[in-house]
Structure 1
Amino acid sequence: MSLISPAARDALERFLAHQQSIKGAAENTTLAYGRDITEFLAFMTEHSGQTQGLAALARISTQDMRAWMARTRGGGVGARSLARKLSAVKAFYKWLAQREGFEPTAVLSTRAPKFTKKLPRPVSEEAARDLLDIASLQSDKPWVGLRDTAVLTLLWGCGLRISEALGLLGRDAPLPEVMRITGKGGKERIVPVIDTARDAVDAYVRACPYGVQDDAPLFRAIRGGALAPRAIQKVMAQGRMQLGLPASATPHAMRHSFATHLLNAGGDLRAIQELLGHASLSTTQAYTAVDTVRLMDVYARAHPKA
């Protein structure tokens, strides 16, 4: 951060602290914001030929923003990644402008590059069941197979993120009929737990050689430490190879599938939104791969004049 003035560096640190403590941003989000904004500030120093204090940052023009975006794209950064970087810079400038009393129009009016959003690719119900069945066979240690099956069941059966499943503690077992899950940004949601998921976790707990301690991770690695996401990703990779599934069959795809299969069974989109913990309904629509045919079918059956 040597190219950044002490005042700008201090402002960035205060902004990141605000994002984490007040806005409840996840640690990974805060780190990404820090990297993206640092790169932006360093570019502006180089671009202007002088250290950018707060007064200089307040004078950044539309031409400066275009130059930064052109340089970033020229460095091989894709449209999606550039849009993410611009979002971080805008958040920082909105926060900074409120505190320093300047008008951040040049930054906030900069348009993000257009890109095609990739729809998530859920696995079929049959493939999801097969993946659960085969997970127990990936290890020569029976308790490890039960562990992996339990984790994947929570992803598909309850719509948990892998970080949420692996964040469960010993005190959470046996799982209740309804769990309170803290997700991204510290947002809490209520998640019903199906019998299959409770049974899978119970079977793992009975077989786990490390026992269950209230403040210790519920899911343990081979040597007793916290189970890492990479271990579950490896189980899925082995399973999809054996079943001939595409590379898109990842642990996160099981969460996609939770939403898609609920919708296909007649589940309400807004209820699924609550179960997934999405702030925006449009995000849930992407997860559930809602297509025109499906929406028109719902319309035809539900509209009073249809």
Structure 2
Amino acid sequence: MQGQGLSARTITERIRVIRQITAATGTDPAALTPQTISTWLATLPSAATKNAYFTVLRAWSTWLVQSDHRVDDPTTRVPRPRTPAGHPRPVTDTQLDAVLALPLRQDTRTKIILGAWAGMRVHEIAKIRGEDISPVAGTITITGKGGRTDTLPAHQLILQQACYYPRRGLWFPSPRDPSAPVQAKTVSRVISDAFDRADAPATAHQLRHYFATSLLRAGTDSRVVQSLMRHESLATTGRYLAVDTDQQRTALSALVPTPNATQRRVDASPSRKSE
């Protein structure tokens, strides 16, 4: 998997899924059958989880075939679990302002700001380093899914946070091992706990939805939003963009009628009766 250029996080997750199906079914992972896969997927809690785990099993089976460990791919005879379309779930301005009004620890405040004003995922926040921020150039460098690295303009709020952290090295080192970053799940918990204390329950990932939605509401072109979200597909970005009724009305009011659309021209001739 390392030869495919996959990130350590992706590799770890795929190994976990393969071990999980092995333990649950008592089947050699190199000898999975379509029936075994279908039965196991049916035990999973949600459509999204089923779809994600199916993707892992498809990648695993493809590798087995390509490596001559088996001659067939069992997942080709298993229907891909359908995933219902996701809906944007941004935090509201009120929720965000409520949590930032709390006397937060500096690290907690910065993590929230990175999520809301850079759209960073929790594992990206966990790994951020001083070298990733350039106050002079006004940029932030983010290494995200699949090891993809993007250098983008940084919001002023993020550049201001840099003064509280070292110019080099991790911003959020693990308390157990200062040479390693905190875990992504720790970042997620810290952020959600802060929202709970503000009596405004929300998740860390909803900050990423907020980032995309706020850009759209500010009049940003959706393809610019896509680039700032670091998505390969505009369709993926669309799942983060919440559109309200006011935006819809504004969009409709911008449609200029053609000259004849505003004129009432009625054909007064007798209607023809069908023969």
Q: With structure 2 as the length reference, what TM-score do the two structures score? A: 0.74
Q: Is the 8 A contact 2:47 2:84 kept in 1?
A: no
* Counterpart pick for 1:122 among 90, 98, 105: 90
Instruction: Report deviation, 1:265.
Output: 1.3
The higher radius of gyration belongs to: 2
Pairing 1:36–2:17 present: yes
Whether contact under 8 Å (1:44, 1:68) holds in the other structure is no
Q: CA separation in 1, counterparts of 2:189 and 2:67? A: 47
Which runs of structure 2 are paired with 1:32-181 in the superposition (5 Å)? 32-38=13-19, 40=21, 46=27, 64-73=33-42, 75=43, 77-100=45-68, 104=72, 107-134=75-102, 137-138=103-104, 145-172=105-132, 175=135, 176-181=137-142
The answer as to 2:16 corresponding to 1:21 is: no
Q: Distance in 2 between matches of 1:303 and 1:89?
A: 52
| Cα distance in 2 between the residues matched to 1:301 and 1:194 | 30
**Taking structure 1 as reference, are residues 164 and 71 closer, same or farther at Cα in structure 2, changes over 3 Å only?**
closer
Taking every aligned residue pair, what percent have the same amino acid on both sides? 25
- 1:61-92 alpha-carbon deviations (Å, 9 max, x no partner): xxx4134312442x454433222222112122
* Conservation of the 8 A alpha-carbon contact between 1:158 and 1:192: no
**Kindly tell me: are residues 100 and 177 of structure 1, through their superposed partners in 2, closer, same or farther at Cα, counting changes over 3 Å?**
same
Change (3 A) 1:82 1:272: same
Counterpart of 1:241? 196
For 2:154 and 2:16, the matched residues in 1 are separated by: 38
* Paired residues of 1:190 and 1:275 also in contact (CA < 8 A): no
**Counterpart AA for 2:142:** I
Please provide the CA RMSD for this pair. 3.7
Determine the C-alpha separation between the residues in 1 that align with 2:35 and 2:173: 49
**1:200 matches 2:168:** no
How far off its partner does 1:153 sit? 1.5
Could you tell me how far apart the structure 2 residues matched to 1:303 and 1:97 are?
58
Contact 2:89–2:209 under 8 Å retained in 1: yes
TM-superposed CA distance for 1:125, in Å, is 2.2
Q: Give unpaired runs (5+ residues) of structure 2.
A: 262-275
In structure 2, how many angstroms separate the alpha carbons of the residues matched to 1:303 and 1:29?
Answer: 49
Contact 1:65/1:110, CA 8 A, preserved across alignment: yes
Deviating more after overlay: 183-192 vs 93-102: 93-102
TM-score normalised to the size of structure 1?
0.67
CA deviation vs aligned residue, 1:10-61 (integer Å, no higher than 9, x gap): xxxxxxx3xx332x32323222222333455678875xxxx787xxx5xx7x
